[in-house]
A and B are shown apart, each in its own frame.
Chain A
Amino acid sequence: MMEPLPYSQVEAGYAWERRFTVTETHLLLASTLFHDVVPVHVDEEFAKRSMFGTRIAPGPLVSGFLAVTIGMQFAGTALAYLEQVDRYRGPVRLGDTITTRWKVVDKTDKPRFGGGIVTLAGICSNERGEVVLEATGKAIIGERRPDDDDDEEQT
């Protein structure tokens, strides 16, 4: 697994991305887990006649793709995810491949956490380049995983 990024290596302008293809499995499990069972998510015949033309994903599935894009980059150094603001700009349809991108806009040192608060701007777009979600996020990032301490002492 990729090494998690420590707070000291985070700079304003640092950006990264991930990609996700939205499958039947995502729609079924997201609707089920969120208990979000409305026709646009589960009824293909209804969805065909809607403005979307096919079933669309629950918004929080895509919001979750954004959150995990932070979570995996900082897996182990992230101490807390504080907030996420999502502005939904367009539908995510079954079969779309979504690119999630985050860019660091600011960092504020918080020595008592052994790191600081990182503020990020995020965007999700589909394979046609259409923006489907714009977001901001805030997380507390530390220097290293707590269980790295032992390894440090041995070296």
Chain B
Amino acid sequence: MSTARPFPSARTVAVGQSFGRSLTVTEAHVVLASGIFGDFAPLHVDEEYAKTTKWGTRLVHGTLVTGIMAGTLSHFFGPNAAGYLQEEMHFRAPTYIGDTVTSTWTIDDIAEKPRLEAAVVSLRGTATRSAGAELVVEGTARLLVRL
């Protein structure tokens, strides 16, 4: 039996360390995101309306992109991610259906909380879209990671 990759813990990562991943955002993402958020704003669901706007087509929900960014943290720390504490997200440009979004995080600080057997890990992150590596979202996050 192969051994699963051990997930990083707060003591096996270092300030300055970066990690990330890429996901292609499809029409299915936008349709399903409209459903779970209850967001049927015309710019997300009405292609004919969207054509008349300066963007020319439907846009991806900003919180789908920030969800993918947060999911990148879960994906990296796995079960050692004990709690998502805070995020500050700045929306810089729209994301379009078909874009491959690359989410990258860099660790800025690790503050151990021995009583919780965990550390508060602070990170700064970006999401860029494949076309021209354009910045679409940037922000910071803090999460509790097991020691």
Contacts and interface: CB of A to CB of B under 8 A. Distances in A.
- Asked whether A and B interact, the reply is yes
Interface of A: 18, 20, 25-26, 29-30, 32-39, 41, 58-61, 63-65, 67-68, 71-72, 75-76, 78, 80-88, 146-147
Q: How large is the interface on B (under 10, 10 to 19, 20 to 34, 35 or more residues)?
A: 35 or more
Contact of B87 (A32, A39, A63): A63
Interface string B1-29: 00000000000000000000101000001
Interface string B85-100: 1111111000000000
B75 interface: yes
A61 B84 CA distance: 12
B52 A33 contact: no
11 contacts: A34-B64, A35-B21, A36-B70, A37-B74, A58-B71, A60-B66, A63-B67, A64-B61, A65-B38, A67-B39, A75-B42
A119 to B, nearest CB: 14
Given A60-B87, A75-B41, 12 more contacts: A29-B36, A58-B70, A60-B70, A60-B71, A71-B41, A75-B42, A75-B43, A83-B89, A86-B88, A87-B85, A87-B86, A88-B86
